[in-house]
Amino acid sequence: MFRKRYLLLMLVACIAFAARAQKTVSTAKPNILLILTDDQGYHDVSYYGTEDIRTPYIDKLTAEGMRFDNFYANCPVCSPTRAALLTGRYQDYVGVPGVIRTYQEDNWGYLDPKAILLPKKLKEAGYNTAIIGKWHLGLESPNIPNDRGFDYFHGWLGDMMDDYWAHRRHDINYMRHNKQVIDPEGHATDLFTKWSIDYIKNEAKDSKPFFLYLAYNAPHFPVQPPTDWLEKVKQREPGITEKRASLVAFIEHLDDGIGKVLQALKESGQYDNTLIIFSSDNGGHLPSEANNGPLRDGKQSMYEGGLKVPTSITWTGKIKPGAISPQMNLSMDLYPTLLEVAGLRASEPIEGRSFLATLLGAQPPTETRPMYFTRREGGATYGGLSIYALRLGDWKLVQNSPYQPLELFNLKEDPKEEKDVIKENPDVYKKLNALLMQHIQQGGQVPWQKPVDGSK
């Protein structure tokens, strides 16, 4: 009797192992894990040699894939970049030129209900789709994750958290499990890590590939690392300021969470068949003492420090380990790239450009394309108006305040954007300004406020 029971258990174990092997080895389409951090500075990773911070798991992941040193967020603030990433379009073309917020008087975006989001497309290729963490693209239907193609949502519906343990914004609880309000205990980074691990383990039992969009709130202010992480940094880095120590500890705690998620992929046998993207939604927040390397300025700014973000993509057996690409890409380029990975094409016009060929070892295209950056904001500094930037090759046109003149920089000669050369290059200015005006006109065709009559 015991022998028969033992053999039966062994048979069940073999079947389960075979099912996992079938998913991890034979599936034509890889799982996709998209890790997006919030306000992580361009050099707030130790793989760039930043001496006061240690991000071993991000470093190892990057070393196992391709690093992009010229990867740009679509916007220097949160919501617009997320809209661009998930639609493959410029953010103002889908109604999100600025940050989506709780109160209408300070809200600068409304995601176009007709825009087709990445999870909806991936479902056509048989993917299970999930978002864990920060959404920030709408607080009510039709613009909540489960309405826009995600099978599963476990995370934060709103923008920033006022406290990483209390999980509130304006005393409102935006934590959700699908459409259900929840009130879990624990640091938000730890919660998102745990929920991702649970999801990954559960997906190992399913033969379908998954797309997991893991969007951490960290290291967005308020900078609140667990106490033990902060003390470790202070002891290790004598002379570090309190503010910088807090941010370093916050990011190192985040890195540890990412490491645990990657370990879950490995333990469940899914790592080798998972394409993993690591990126940030905009540059680092300078008042929090973020490190944007040699770049000018930071979050909220149209200068390079507000737009360039640390980014890498890993896919075992497909992407050469240790590769470094100089190609200029935008957050919205991930949309067509991932569609191509899944064997799909965009069903509607998009501005994003697939760079899958680059990932697989081809030389990046030599032609240049204009890259537009827009951001609308309120308050006395912006007055509800927009700021802009346009990069074309080595040239960059910038209007970092709606009340100041445009500036022109040659980034090849002046990567720190220290010398405005607009007067010396009138023809370049005329060309770029004409392109920017066309972009503004096209973006102006798309409403960015919720219809007052409630129509969709």
For residue 74, give every residue at least 6 positions away whose Cβ sits within 8 Å of its Cβ, in sequence order, or none. 80, 81, 83, 84, 85, 90, 91, 330, 331, 332, 373
| Burial grade of 237 (CB within 10 A; 0-12, 13-18, 19 or more) | middle
- Rg over alpha carbons for the chain, rounded to the nearest Å, is 22
Q: How far apart are the first and last CA of the chain?
A: 65
**Maximum Cα interatomic distance, the chain, rounded to a whole number of Å:** 91
Annotation marks residue 136 as catalytic: yes
Token pair recorded at residue 220? 């967005």
Catalytic residue from among 43, 75, 136, 167? 136
Distance of CA 64 to the CA centre of its chain: 19
Angle, alpha carbons 179-181-186 (nearest 5°): 125
CA dist list (Å): 377 to 85, 101, 349: 20, 11, 27
Annotation marks residue 78 as catalytic: yes
CA dist list (Å): 437 to 147, 228, 408: 34, 51, 15
- What residues form DSSP beta bridges with 213? 34, 131
Catalytic residue from among 43, 75, 78, 439? 78
Residue from 353, 301, 313, 362 nearest 330 by CA: 353
For residue 119, give every residue at least 6 positions away whose Cβ sits within 8 Å of its Cβ, in sequence order, or none. 86, 127, 129, 131, 148, 149, 150, 151, 211, 213
Enzyme catalytic residues: 78, 136
